[in-house]
């Protein structure tokens, strides 16, 4: 069926036959003339009508920019045939869909793929098998390494993202087979907002009847809690390092998949250095949905969208059209490899290249210090004492294992009452920081402006009873009104080997990268605790890592952690800095 809509010609339910005979269906939007145009392909599991417009421009807009747009239901979703098994068929199906799209009437033979989240994963899968007609991609908010970049971004299952997503996919599966009761139950479940309700059921293993009956793949995600052959078969990055398709990575500072975007960038930098493809990265002040100016109650200003729709259109116009129609109209096509929004200054920055993981960055170090009162809660004595900024090395000795702490602070992590961190958004944490089961360290007002760019880290001298457990670090900005804006967080597992011998262990916690300009007079705050739930799955305490996914609610225990300070090396926070010219 063909209709004219919004100045475009729409062709619905167009069949595309896969190599195994399964038929997938697509809607095609095209200019209403006889000229040849490049094709933009989106492969998605959520419905062709939506076309990912929760973040992307509608296909009609892209038609007016000079493209044919194809929105295809992936296998087993929407009207497409076959069974949906997330990620498994997307490489071969993607190859076949790209070559089919390249041969459509009116196509100039050049195809680009776009979209975010699952629509980004389908791009990585297709690019990994190099369909000849695929000339450029723009994967947003996803990761080619599913284990590290999506499901276990900091070594713990991302509960707050994947429990709701599992139920959403289960609902769609139920809808295909008439499971009305499951659809209604999903709607009730997914509206629950509190972390306490995420605790049902434990373990978070897919035992809920809706997941078990309509989306059993969730159990696989949760039970494969370490990187193994299951995840290796779902990691496209090794193949992508050898491919040459130009890649425009889109990320958000508040997005759950930011680590996936940055790991993709880091892995593909070597490809570009070898002259094998072109790579660009753009990170905005965005959550997974939407990509606008507001997140976590903060207004990031009228430029917060970064003209992302125009940026994508310029990217594809450059790579998919002939030389006579190319124009360098976007900073993504100039010398800047990385364009990012800097929180604090609310400014977009562009730099020639950057590694969020560079060890040689200039760093500002804060030493953790206690006082007369315990450092539990924001009203305690915990302080961050600013030390001299360092270069690529670290002046203080990092090996503190055998040194006796001059002082220490102690917190008890009760897995039955996890510390709540609901998202990466810049929400106020001051109420949480009043709790006594966390340690809180606050800096003096900054004596000058400085710019943070990269991964903060914490090195902690510790002893432990009741481990293994998690050590979680949370960084926030203290506002003049007393609110504490969340900046970033990270975790690592610690064992009780050191505590058993009476010696002190050493742990390093790497926090998620961020870009933030701290103004003169502003204050930062560090929390140390045992959980950040449901951002990370809770550690039940006392379990070895390989059985965490089997932990039931009745095995939730307590762990007691001492953080030492006052020795040479001690415990400290490091912030990676960048100068005004973009150097580190």
> Which domains does the chain show, CATH number per domain?
2-150+231-351 (3.40.50.1820), 158-224 (no CATH), 362-578 (2.60.120.260)
Mean pLDDT, rounded, for 11-23: 98
Mean pLDDT, rounded, for 232-243: 89
Mean pLDDT, rounded, for 80-89: 96
Which one has a higher pLDDT value, 72 or 196?
Answer: 72
- Given this model, what pLDDT does residue 208 score? 76
Q: pLDDT (tens digit, 9 = 90+) per residue, 156-166?
A: 999 888 888 88
Determine contact, residues 348/306, Cβ cutoff 8 Å: yes
Angle at which helices 159-177 and 180-190 cross, to 10°: 160
**Centroid of chain to Cα 561:** 29
- Given this model, what pLDDT does residue 51 score? 96
Q: Are strands 347-351 and 514-518 parallel, antiparallel or unpaired?
A: unpaired
Q: pLDDT (tens digit, 9 = 90+) per residue, 279-302?
A: 999 999 999 999 999 998 899 999
Close Cβ partners of 168 (under 8 Å, ≥ 6 residues apart) = 186, 190
CA separation for the pair 183, 396 (Å, rounded): 58
Query: Sign of torsion, CA 354 357 359 361?
Result: positive
- Given this model, what pLDDT does residue 211 score? 82
Give 571's pLDDT tier (boundaries 50, 70, 90): very high
Q: What percent of the chain shows pLDDT beyond 90?
A: 69
- Given this model, what pLDDT does residue 105 score? 98
Mean pLDDT, rounded, for 67-84: 97
Backbone angles phi, psi at 318, to 5 degrees: -65, -45
- Asked whether the predicted pLDDT for residue 38 surpasses 60, the reply is yes
Mean pLDDT, rounded, for 327-336: 58
Task: Give the CA diameter of the chain.
Answer: 80
Select from 470, 112, 12, 102 the least CA-distant residue to 317. Answer: 112
- Given this model, what pLDDT does residue 214 score? 84
- Asked whether the predicted pLDDT for residue 184 surpasses 90, the reply is no
- Given this model, what pLDDT does residue 278 score? 87
Close Cβ partners of 277 (under 8 Å, ≥ 6 residues apart) = 243, 244, 245, 246, 247, 268, 271
- Given this model, what pLDDT does residue 186 score? 58
Which one has a higher pLDDT value, 359 or 106?
Answer: 106
Which letter does DSSP use for residue 235 in this model?
Answer: B
- Asked whether the predicted pLDDT for residue 207 surpasses 50, the reply is yes
Mean pLDDT, rounded, for 70-97: 97
Mean pLDDT, rounded, for 271-286: 79
Residue-wise DSSP of 428-486: B-TTGGG-TTSEEEEEPPPSS-EEEEE--EEEEEEEEES-SEEEEEEEEEE-TTS-EEE
- Given this model, what pLDDT does residue 341 score? 97
- Given this model, what pLDDT does residue 399 score? 46
The shares of helix, strand and coil residues in the chain, as percent rounded to the nearest 5, are 25, 30, 45
Q: Which residues pair with 563 in a beta bridge?
A: 409, 462
Q: Locate 232 and state its tokens.
A: 């290796």
- Given this model, what pLDDT does residue 39 score? 99
Q: Locate 381 and state its tokens.
A: 């004595």
Mean pLDDT, rounded, for 132-151: 97
- Given this model, what pLDDT does residue 502 score? 77
Q: pLDDT (tens digit, 9 = 90+) per residue, 392-421?
A: 444 444 444 445 668 999 999 999 999 999
- Given this model, what pLDDT does residue 428 score? 96
Q: pLDDT (tens digit, 9 = 90+) per residue, 303-317?
A: 999 999 999 999 999
CA-based R_g, the chain, Å: 25
Determine contact, residues 554/359, Cβ cutoff 8 Å: no
Helix and strand element counts for the chain (H, E): 14, 28
Give 238's pLDDT tier (boundaries 50, 70, 90): confident
- Asked whether the predicted pLDDT for residue 342 surpasses 50, the reply is yes
The whole-chain average pLDDT of the chain stands at 88
Residue-wise DSSP of 535-562: TSPPP-SS--GGGGGG--GGG--EEEEE
CA separation for the pair 492, 474 (Å, rounded): 12
């Amino acid at each position: 069926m063909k209709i004219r809509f919004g100045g475009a010609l729409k062709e619905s339910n167009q069949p595309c036959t896969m190599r195994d005979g399964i038929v997938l269906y697509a809607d095609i939007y095209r200019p209403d003339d006889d000229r040849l145009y490049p094709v933009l392909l989106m492969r998605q599991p959520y419905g062709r009508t939506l076309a990912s417009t929760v973040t992307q421009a509608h296909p009609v807009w892209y038609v007016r920019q000079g493209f044919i747009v194809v929105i295809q239901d992936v296998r087993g979703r929407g009207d497409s045939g076959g069974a949906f098994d997330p990620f498994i068929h997307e490489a071969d199906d993607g190859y076949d869909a790209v070559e089919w799209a390249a041969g459509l009437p009116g196509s100039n033979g050049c195809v680009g793929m776009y979209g975010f989240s699952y629509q980004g994963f389908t791009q990585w899968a297709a690019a990994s098998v190099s369909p000849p007609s695929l000339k450029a991609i723009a994967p947003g908010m996803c990761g080619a390494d599913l284990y590290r970049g999506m499901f276990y971004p900091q070594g713990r299952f991302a509960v707050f993202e994947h429990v709701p997503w599992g139920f959403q996919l289960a609902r769609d599966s139920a809808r295909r087979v008439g499971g009305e009761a499951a659809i209604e139950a999903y709607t009730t479940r997914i509206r629950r907002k509190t972390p306490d309700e995420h605790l049902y059921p434990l373990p978070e293993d897919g035992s809920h009847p809706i997941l078990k009956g309509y989306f059993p793949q969730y159990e696989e995600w949760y039970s494969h809690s370490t990187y193994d052959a299951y995840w290796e078969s779902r990691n496209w990055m090794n193949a992508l390092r050898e491919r040459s398709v130009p890649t425009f990575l889109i990320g958000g500072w508040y997005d759950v998949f930011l680590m996936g975007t940055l790991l993709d960038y880091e892995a593909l930098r070597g490809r570009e250095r070898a002259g094998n493809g072109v790579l660009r990265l753009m990170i905005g002040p965005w959550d997974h949905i939407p990509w606008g100016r507001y997140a976590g109650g903060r207004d990031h200003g009228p430029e917060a969208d970064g003209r992302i729709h125009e940026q994508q259109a310029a990217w594809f116009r450059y790579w998919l059209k002939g030389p006579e129609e190319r124009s360098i109209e976007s900073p993504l096509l100039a010398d800047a490899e990385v364009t990012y929004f800097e929180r604090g200054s609310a400014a977009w920055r562009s730099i020639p290249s950057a590694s969020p993981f560079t060890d040689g960055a200039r760093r500002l170090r804060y030493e953790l210090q206690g006082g007369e009162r315990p450092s539990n809660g924001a009203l305690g004595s915990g302080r961050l004492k600013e030390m001299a900024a360092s270069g690529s090395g670290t002046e203080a000795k990092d090996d503190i294992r055998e040194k006796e702490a001059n002082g220490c602070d102690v917190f008890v992590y009760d897995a039955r009452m996890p510390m709540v961190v609901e998202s990466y958004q810049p929400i106020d944490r001051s109420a949480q920081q009043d709790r006594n089961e966390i340690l809180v360290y606050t800096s003096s007002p900054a004596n000058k402006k400085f710019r943070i760019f990269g991964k903060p880290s914490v090195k902690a001298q510790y002893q432990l009873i009741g481990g293994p457990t998690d050590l979680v670090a949370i960084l926030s900005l203290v506002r003049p009104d007393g609110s504490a804006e969340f900046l970033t967080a990270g975790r690592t597992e610690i064992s009780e080997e050191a505590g058993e011998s009476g010696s002190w262990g050493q742990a390093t916690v790497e926090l998620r990268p961020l870009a933030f300009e701290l103004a003169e007079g502003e204050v930062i705050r560090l929390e140390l605790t045992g959980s950040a739930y449901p951002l990370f799955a809770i550690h039940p305490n006392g379990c070895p890592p390989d059985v965490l996914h089997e932990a039931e609610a009745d095995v939730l225990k307590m762990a007691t952690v001492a953080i030492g300070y006052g020795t040479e090396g001690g415990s400290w926070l490091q912030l990676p800095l960048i100068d005004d010219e973009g150097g580190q």
